[in-house]
Structure 1
Amino acid sequence: MAVAGTTRDRRGVRRQEPEVRTRRLRGSKGAKVWREGYVSGGKTRFFVRALGSPSWDVPDGDAPRDDLIVLLHGWPEDGSSWRLVAPTLVEAGYRVVCPDLKGFGRSDAPRHGYDPETLADEIAQLIRGLHARRAVVVGHDWGGAVALSTAFRHPGRVRALGVASSPFRQVDLRAAWHIPLLNVPLAPQVAFKLAGGPLTRVAIRYSAVVKEPFTPEAMERYVAAVTADPAGWLAYYRTLSRRAVVDGALRRVRRAAPFLRSPDGAHRLRVPAMVLWGEQDRVTPFHLAPKVARDLDATLVGIPGVGHFVHEEAPEIVADTILQLTRAADVAEEAARQRSEEHA
């Protein structure tokens, strides 16, 4: 359910929460009307953008539904990065919700709780709070790592999994050079407070091959998402650092965090999975993608001429791929239902 009335702010101070509101998100395909508000994910309040009618306001007494798609963004963005993909999914009949990840944008940014287990638990509770029994969960970059953790830790909440430009198994630090820099004590936090705008713009323009989606308005949203409280999203990288052993040349992570290493029992993933990757990705190079797909027994979709931000650089392809994923989930569920009836 949507959170309204008296709540707590990002640092735990009680305050009055505004009601859910609507707005047109410029740059969104078809200038669709988005609904914005806060939804509880356990102890974390997520700021969400929802598209589709109804979004999270489902009449009391209605059974939880399976028509929800949750789209999780990465760094250095917020939920609005999915604005070009979501309308196509809504036109196909789905509810679509794009939260700001914990620590980003207007979602809560506590100092602790960025381990994969906690993040997965909170997304599962968010799905429940959106009156869904299960959801198709797709994530880009850090969002892909969170989506993956959610699928393994809460298989009953995830109908299908999509991972975009998210090498959970290993990182190539020759490309992802920003990871060591973001782990220098205090320096990144101070830098993003003082010069977050230029740093964010440089990071995005370096990582993207197709530049047109990154309008001045979009850039301002992303700058705001990572400069409001850098300590929140920096916790993702600090968690990675604490759990990883990086070789002396800083070329790759030998023992990576649970976000990145091949999950124990990956073969037990029982839902359809797809891996999407830009073939010209400079941050998480495409050579990492086949191993990710093999570990998940997933279909790999490589997108030529596209960099790191596949959902913005090639939104039509990404939307069509997600719809293929939802159809695969429908087929898998029908097959499971028939098997259950045969054994009844």
Structure 2
Amino acid sequence: MPTATVNDAALAYLDSAPGADTDKVLLLLHGHAFDKSMWAGQVEHFGALGWRVIAPDLRGFGKSEVTPGIVYTEEFAADAIGLLDALKVPAAVVLGYSMGGQVAMEIQHSYPERVRALAIVDTVPQAEDAAGRRRRNTVADRLVTEGMQAYASDVLGVMIAAHNVQAKPGVAAKVLEMIRRSPAAGSAAAMRGRAARRDFTETLRAVTVPALVIAGADDAFDDGAGARMHELMPHSTFVRIDGAGHTPNMEQPQAFNAALEEFLAGL
């Protein structure tokens, strides 16, 4: 598995077409306590359609180097851009899921020239309020002291739709194992960084590139956030995925891939 040293950290990543000279590059950013393996279906599907698909393990997750303490959203964004630099990719379609969606919005905010198009999956643009910051820091402390096992079991029923825990046991098992193997120190550092993230509302208002917002119809965290982000961006499309919760690309991969494929075909 390839790695690249970016901003003094070794990042593991998947690349469906190493070294390919193409403007059809899709950068996939995973969510909290997940890793690049969540995108296996998309790497295969879109790679077969001629896209160069790059999916890193963000700092502190998967096989990438762990930075303990706190890692801010700005650092994840800088790492993603550093990886594109290392791979000589000038611009990409940037797709982020959940925490990765906030990283994608940070990339749009700080490095807009690197974003050919923006896709956001099951996330929210608002900064945390005081209660949210306390909650995230409390969870981070718990991850360090208790590890990932109990946390994984606790959040499984919101990471995918509760009905899919029983209806799609293979998906549930993959999500559970992915969270369980996530490094506790890296997960805690990211959780603390998310507590301090910026508000991206105005960033979205200023987006001029094509944009796609995807939300699982049964996402426990959404509460209309996907539709509101679509309203903020003048050149955006909104797709709701039926039968999916917070992780539609794994719960309903055919519908997810179809929505993303249609978006990419229109670029």
Residue correspondence of structure 1 range 282-293 to structure 2 within 5 A = 282=220, 284-293=221-230
Say whether the 8 Å CA contact 1:75–1:142 is kept in structure 2. yes
TM-score, normalised by the number of residues in structure 2? 0.86
Matched, 1:42 2:7: yes
Task: Give the whole-Å Cα distance in 2 for the aligned partners of 1:172 and 1:287.
Answer: 18
Equivalent residue runs for 1:1-344 within 5 Å: 36-51=1-16, 55-57=17-19, 65-111=22-68, 114-169=71-126, 180=135, 182-183=137-138, 186-192=141-147, 196-209=148-161, 210-211=164-165, 212=168, 213-214=170-171, 216=173, 219-224=176-181, 226=182, 228=183, 230-241=184-195, 243=196, 257-258=197-198, 261-282=199-220, 284-297=221-234, 298-329=236-267
In structure 2, distance between residues paired with 1:197 and 1:187 = 11
Question: Is residue 136–residue 192 contact of structure 2 (8 Å, CA) maintained in 1?
Answer: no
Tell me the alpha carbon deviations over residues 63-87 of structure 1, each in whole angstroms, 9 at most, x when there is no partner. x531221111112211101112222
Q: Which secondary structure state, in structure 1, belongs to the residue aligned with residue 71 of structure 2?
A: coil
The Cα of 1:166 is off from its aligned counterpart by 0.7
Structure 1, gaps ≥5 residues long = 1-35, 59-63, 244-256, 330-344
8 Å CA contact retained: 1:86, 1:319: no
C-alpha deviations, 1:80-125, integer Å up to 9, x for none? 0111222211121111122111111211221367223322222111
- Partner SS, residue 171 of structure 2: coil
- Which letter maps to 1:295? L
Contact 1:182 1:188 in 2 (8 A): no
Gap change, CA 1:172 and 1:287, over 3 Å in 2: farther
Q: Deviations over 1:20-64 (max 9, x none)?
A: xxxxxxxxxxxxxxxx2212333332111233xxx3245xxxxx5
Change (3 A) 1:303 1:179: farther
Q: Name the count of aligned residue pairs.
A: 261
Distance change >3 Å, CA 208–CA 173, structure 1 → 2 = farther
Larger radius of gyration: 1
- Distance in 1 between residues matched to 2:225 and 2:202, nearest whole Å: 19
Residue 183 of structure 1: SS of its match in structure 2?
A: helix
Displacement of 1:165: 0.5
1:305-342 CA-partner distances (Å, limit 9, x unpaired): 2111111011122222222332333xxxxxxxxxxxxx
Q: Is the 8 A contact 2:15 2:55 kept in 1?
A: yes
RMSD of the alignment, in Å? 2.7
- Higher relative contact order by CA 8 Å / sep ≥ 6: 1 or 2? 2
Q: CA shift at 1:171, angstroms?
A: 6.6
Q: Name the aligned partner's letter for residue 309 of structure 1.
A: T
TM-score (normalizing by structure 1): 0.68
Displacement of 1:287 after TM fit?
A: 1.6
One-letter identity of the residue aligned with 1:39: A
SS at match of 2:84: helix
Richer in helix (by share): 2
Indicate the SS of the match to 1:291: helix
Deviation at 1:172, TM superposition (A): 10
Identity among equivalent positions (%) equals: 22
3-state SS of 1:280 partner: coil
